[in-house]
Structure 1
């Protein structure tokens, strides 16, 4: 890779890392998995950087790589890895309610199928339009709408149950 292209890639990574990591965390539900996902996606983007630079929207191209890498990760999930039970964040004295709300929301997101979780994360947490989400996921706008509607229906049904169990 030419020095100028490598510098462009470094600037891209530096400016997009926090947002990519947040999206990856919302897709995976674990900090370590999110970091691994972003690194794998950026490694793929690096090998195709000239193609990424030639794309109309570099962000959309890299986000698509991130989403596809996550889908690949889910398809290849190995049985040899045993995860421990999820550990909640320790509540801070001044933000305890926020931690509980965030924890409940993350639990509800984890319960969604990967495709529905991706549409909710991209639509509402990444603030992307239906057309952008459809392009990123490689589906039609109607599919995005139906997946989002199903996900929201499940979240609405799941959240009251989770908040009630938190109170007990």
Structure 2
């Protein structure tokens, strides 16, 4: 029996979803690719056990969150900063949706890794507080408090947006 039986199918089926999560956690496509590659290596290393009696997707998502936090904590990788790009030299104005998206990206980049993870898991992936807590390896109370702090910070950084 192949040790990696089913792994390739898992990657093909879940890669796009995991990549979106990685991108939202890092805010950078290249870092997201690196992050996902590192996580998939870990998933492959534990594949036999995960396939037999685990939830490989939950393991992968938790590993994405943990690795992002680890990168920030150790300063190994500089996640995208809080600087908004300058307006094009041509003087071309951006449409309102683009400006709002850039403001939100700017605000998200200023959150702590845990706060950003909570926002991504709770509001983008529409996970419950319990699921988010399990994926992050923290208590439900921590999820609630981090969500509260993150939303307060987003409101302060981008007051023109409505974060409720």
TM-score by length of 1: 0.80
Matching of residue 107 in structure 1 with residue 106 in structure 2: yes
1:48 is matched with which residue: 46, 61, 66? 46
2:29 aligned residue: 31
Distance 1:23 1:44 in 2: 17
**How well do the aligned residues superpose, as a CA RMSD in angstroms?**
2.8
Distance 2:153 2:54 in 1: 35
Distance 2:86 2:20 in 1: 18
User: How far did 1:161 drift?
Assistant: 6.7
- Compared with structure 1, are the counterparts of its residues 96 and 55 closer, same or farther at alpha carbon in structure 2 (3 Å cutoff)? farther
Distance 2:33 2:50 in 1: 21
Structure 2 residues not aligned, in runs of 5+: none
Aligned with 1:6: secondary structure?
coil
User: How far did 1:120 drift?
Assistant: 0.6
State the aligned residue count. 155
Q: After TM superposition, what 4+ stretches of structure 1 lie above 3 angstroms from structure 2?
A: 83-90
1:118 aligned residue: 117
Distance 2:124 2:20 in 1: 9
1:166 aligned residue: none
Distance 1:125 1:147 in 2: 15
